[in-house]
Amino acid sequence: MTLLELKDVSVHYGRIQALRDISFSVEEGEIVSLIGANGAGKTTTMRTISGLLNPSAGSITFDGQDITKMKAHIRVVNGISQAPEGRGIFPGMTVLENLDMGTFGLKSKEGVPESLERVFSLFPRLEERKKQLGGTMSGGEQQMLAIGRALMSQPRVLLLDEPSMGLAPQFIRQIFSIIKEINEQGTTILLVEQNANQALARAHRAFVLETGEITKSGTGKELLADPSIKEAYLGVG
């Protein structure tokens, strides 16, 4: 079943066009990766899906419903949750308070203890440090906290913007294996990454974004083996 679908989506910042007629879909249960260089439009795509940016043309459908004009906080309640680039945690709040912010606006808090248990079992470090201030955690721990917070609303699709950014190699491997585990537990994942190697290796399907346009698509394996992708994106990492 198609869970998320973008059709001919364009986004402008004033007169600058950041996305040009982007179309792609995410099936329920998939990990889909969007790879691309700096400035290709990856973050713009994520922020458009989460409702922080408005498209100038095109439509977004989620679970069969047109959400193009739906407000961001309503999208969260409906099952779209984003762990933003640069982590965006609240440095002056404890780990537990940060996680609680992920439940903001939910109609029912019934599922919250279960979500917290899930987050702590995925990230035992967050449970150990639950009373610590977010801002005093390491980069890797803050990344875990951002993902954990996004999971607190029990999303059907989790949007991850550069989860490996700035992390040491052992944390990068760990984050990607946890992303796979989250997916195996039933959460659909859309992942944006510059670390193309890991992002393609873990993805069911992937798309390449270049200056606001999708230029390639295929299974993760197909794109990993594609010589032009190897040359452009797989040199490092």
Query: Which residues of this chain interact with ligand ATP, rule CB under 6 A?
Result: 13, 16, 18, 36, 38-44, 194
Q: Which is nearer to ligand ATP, 5 or 161 (CB)?
A: 161
Q: Which is nearer to ligand ATP, 7 or 20 (CB)?
A: 20
For 28, phi and psi rounded to 5 degrees? -60, 130
Encoded tokens for 129: 């440090």
Q: Which is nearer to ligand ATP, 39 or 124 (CB)?
A: 39
**Min CB(5)–ligand ATP separation in Å:** 20
**Min CB(106)–ligand ATP separation in Å:** 28
Q: How far is Cα 169 from Cα 237, in angstroms, rounded to an integer?
A: 9
Q: How far is Cα 26 from Cα 28, in angstroms, rounded to an integer?
A: 7
**Min CB(13)–ligand ATP separation in Å:** 3
Q: Which is nearer to ligand ATP, 4 or 196 (CB)?
A: 196
Does residue 155 come out as left (phi exceeding 0), alpha (psi in the -120 to 50 range) or beta? beta
For 14, phi and psi rounded to 5 degrees? 60, -120
Q: Which is nearer to ligand ATP, 119 or 209 (CB)?
A: 209
**Min CB(148)–ligand ATP separation in Å:** 22
- CA distances, 160 to each of 110, 131, 132, 191 (Å): 25, 25, 24, 5
Encoded tokens for 234: 């797989």
**Min CB(46)–ligand ATP separation in Å:** 8
On whether the CB atoms of residues 209 and 36 are closer than 8 A, the answer is yes
Strand partners, 160: 83, 191
On whether the CB atoms of residues 100 and 155 are closer than 8 A, the answer is no
Which distant-in-sequence residues (6+ apart) come within 8 Å of 100 by Cβ?
A: 152
Q: How far is Cα 72 from Cα 77, in angstroms, rounded to an integer?
A: 9
| Residue type (1 letter), 89 | I
**Min CB(80)–ligand ATP separation in Å:** 18
**Min CB(186)–ligand ATP separation in Å:** 28
Q: Which is nearer to ligand ATP, 115 or 195 (CB)?
A: 195
On whether the CB atoms of residues 145 and 128 are closer than 8 A, the answer is no
Q: Which is nearer to ligand ATP, 87 or 129 (CB)?
A: 87
